[in-house]
């Protein structure tokens, strides 16, 4: 059986956990996640973890922030007027906004009387993540 190589299309089932064991995402009950091994469609720590795996193989990998969603950057937190928020917005709510023509998600992390603090970091920025990965399938691209 061939092992997964750079550029192969793979399908995996996975469960992602925080350091305290909390599950933040899983493909259980869904179709497998498909992406290019070693590519940029998923976080680098997962994309690279499948290299060398064979279909049917499972493994657990720990992914540092630099191979996941990056370090948390305080400079990506911005104070704005509360009046720009939708009616009823509360701490923890995601908001969709456009930056340089691209839609991104920002998170409300603080609400004051007349201001709000929005966080442009990914919610998992700064987190070390653990993934249980099962390689379901691989399509060799011959790279």
| All domains in the chain, ordered by first residue | 9-70+124-139 (3.10.50.40), 74-119 (2.40.10.330)
- Express each pLDDT in 41-77 by its tens digit: 999 999 999 999 999 999 999 999 999 999 999 999 9
Distance CA 9, CA 34 (A): 7
What torsion, rounded to 10 degrees, do the Cα atoms 91, 76, 49, 32 define?
40
Q: Residues 95-113: what's their mean pLDDT?
A: 91
| Residue in 124, 130, 139 with CA at minimum distance from that of residue 34 | 139
Read off the tokens for 7: 């550029």
Distance CA 66, CA 88 (A): 35
Identify the pLDDT of residue 25: 97
Whole-model pTM?
A: 0.83
Identify the pLDDT of residue 27: 97
Instruction: Check if the beta carbon of residue 13 is closer than 8 Å to that of residue 27.
Output: yes
**Does residue 143 have a pLDDT over 90?**
no
């Amino acid at each position: 059986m061939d092992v997964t190589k750079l550029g192969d299309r793979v399908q995996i089932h996975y469960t992602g956990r925080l350091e305290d064991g909390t599950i933040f995402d899983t493909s259980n009950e869904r179709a497998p996640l498909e992406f290019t091994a070693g590519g940029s469609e998923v976080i680098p720590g997962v994309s690279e973890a499948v290299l060398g795996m064979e279909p049917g193989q499972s493994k657990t990998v720990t992914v540092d922030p630099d191979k996941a969603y990056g370090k948390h950057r305080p400079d990506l937190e911005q104070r704005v007027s509360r009046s720009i928020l939708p009616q009823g917005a509360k701490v923890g709510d995601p908001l969709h906004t456009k930056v340089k023509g691209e839609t991104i998600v920002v998170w409300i992390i603080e609400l004051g009387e007349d201001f709000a603090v929005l966080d442009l970091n990914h919610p998992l920025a700064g987190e070390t993540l653990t993934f249980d990965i099962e390689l379901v399938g691989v399509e060799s691209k011959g790279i």
